[in-house]
A and B are shown apart, each in its own frame.
Chain A
Amino acid sequence: DADVTQTPRNRITKTGKRIMLECSQTKGHDRMYWYRQDPGLGLRLIYYSFDVKDINKGEISDGYSVSRQAQAKFSLSLESAIPNQTALYFCATSDLWDTQYFGPGTRLTVL
């Protein structure tokens, strides 16, 4: 089984809808991250969490919110989706030696 899983893997939704992307990990890491990837722009950090009670904004947090339900679970929500949030979203965890482990990604399309 994969160490970092993301659900759903693909999602098509409409403008204005609320969307939740979920991430689970079995690596036992405290640090978790959400990124979005757009063509030609690399990955941009949305939110990160160093433990259940520590959540921080990244470069592009506007329009997004997160919830760290447990050490193993970190969810990303789009409260009211808009077309320019169409992107590939990745969850990642990080160990004490700073290596990041990525999930397979969620391809989100907002119409």
Chain B
Amino acid sequence: SQQGEEDPQALSIQEGENATMNCSYKTSINNLQWYRQNSGRGLVHLILIRSNEREKHSGRLRVTLDTSKKSSSLLITASRAADTASYFCATDEGGTYKYIFGTGTRLKVLA
């Protein structure tokens, strides 16, 4: 079964708008990570947030983590056409370094 579930499954926005996607998971974790995948290519690491952190920023990315609700959100501000990709969350199931990925959010940014 999938550890992480992203929501929404697909998102279409205009360039310059913000994009928010959410991830829910089931077990305790050491950290939660977000990855981007351009069509058919390998995943690229975006940001990691540890279980004792609540918010983290990296450039136009903002990640929040709520361990009580077992959920995380990824915000991409001022989106660009180049942000068009699929975004996945990944968690280390039970803190084991055995990473489980969600089903992904497909983001399309319209120029």
Minimum CB distance partner of B100 in chain A: A45
**Contact of A99 with B45 in the complex, beta carbons under 8 Å:** yes
A74 at the interface (CB under 8 A from B): no
**Contact of B33 with A33 in the complex, beta carbons under 8 Å:** no
Chain A residues with Cβ under 8 A from B2's Cβ? 41-42
**Contact of B45 with A35 in the complex, beta carbons under 8 Å:** no
**Contact of A31 with B97 in the complex, beta carbons under 8 Å:** yes
The answer to whether residues A48 and B98 also contact, given A98-B30, A99-B45 and a CB cut-off of 8 A, is yes
Chain A residues with Cβ under 8 A from B103's Cβ? 40-42
Q: Is the interface of B mostly helix, strand, loop or mixed?
A: strand
CA distance A44 to B104 in the complex (A): 12
B41 at the interface (CB under 8 A from A): yes
Chain B residues with Cβ under 8 A from A90's Cβ? 42-43
**Contact of A105 with B41 in the complex, beta carbons under 8 Å:** yes
B101 at the interface (CB under 8 A from A): yes
A84-111 contacts to B, CB under 8 A, are: 88, 90, 92, 94, 97-105, 107
Minimum CB distance partner of A98 in chain B: B31
The answer to whether residues A100 and B98 also contact, given A42-B2, A42-B104, A43-B88 and a CB cut-off of 8 A, is no
The residue in A40, A45, A100 that gathers the most chain B C-beta atoms within 10 A of its C-beta is A100
Q: How far is the CB of A45 from chain B (nearest CB, A)?
A: 7
Chain B residues with Cβ under 8 A from A98's Cβ? 30-31, 33, 48, 92, 97
List B residues at the A interface (Cβ < 8 Å). Answer: 2, 4, 30-31, 33, 35, 40-45, 48, 88, 90, 92, 97-104
Give 18 pairs: A residue, B residue, CB < 8 Å, sorted on A: A40-B103, A42-B2, A42-B102, A42-B103, A43-B90, A44-B101, A45-B98, A48-B97, A56-B98, A58-B98, A59-B100, A90-B43, A92-B43, A100-B99, A102-B43, A104-B42, A105-B41, A107-B40
List A residues at the B interface (Cβ < 8 Å). Answer: 4, 31, 33, 35, 40-45, 48, 50, 56, 58-59, 88, 90, 92, 94, 97-105, 107
